[in-house]
């Protein structure tokens, strides 16, 4: 049970790491916070290293980290990237979401 990135999402994250001049071994942090249209919203950030209690995954050459509380909502989630002009950005395929808002940035369990 892991959080994974598609190759397209991993390539985008690697480009962000390079543009931000992140040190080798940097991580993508995926979290869930209260709010958004449906109750919970996804948050992405970059960090140079995981926190002590983070869940840590490797996916397509990118380390992905997630705090334990967020991980309960993100088990088996796949992050994709869509470069469509109107609905471009990261896309979350979360099997734990019972419903999502129309933009896909928030969900409910």
pLDDT digits (tens, 9 = 90+) for 33-90: 886 565 788 899 999 999 999 999 999 999 999 999 999 999 999 999 998 877 789 9
Tokens of 26: 């940097």
Q: What is this structure's pTM?
A: 0.84
Supply the range of the domain harboring residue 70. 4-108
Q: What is the number of domains present in the chain?
A: 1
Burial of 47 (0-12, 13-18, 19+ CB in 10 A): middle
* Interacting residues of 59 by C-beta distance below 8 A, sequence separation 6+: 2, 3, 4, 5, 10
| Residues 92, 85 contacting (CB under 8 angstroms) | no
| Residues 71, 81 contacting (CB under 8 angstroms) | no
Q: What is the CATH number for 86?
A: 2.60.300.12
């Amino acid at each position: 049970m892991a959080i994974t990135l598609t190759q397209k999402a991993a390539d985008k994250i690697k480009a962000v790491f390079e543009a931000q001049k992140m040190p080798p071994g940097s991580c993508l942090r995926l979290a869930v916070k209260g709010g958004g249209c449906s109750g919970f919203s996804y948050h992405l950030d970059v960090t140079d290293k995981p926190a002590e209690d983070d869940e840590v995954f490797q996916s397509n050459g990118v380390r992905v980290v997630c705090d334990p509380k967020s991980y309960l909502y993100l088990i088996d989630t796949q992050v994709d990237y869509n470069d469509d002009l109107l609905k471009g950005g990261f896309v979350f395929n979360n099997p734990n979401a019972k419903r999502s808002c129309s933009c896909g940035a928030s969900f409910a369990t």
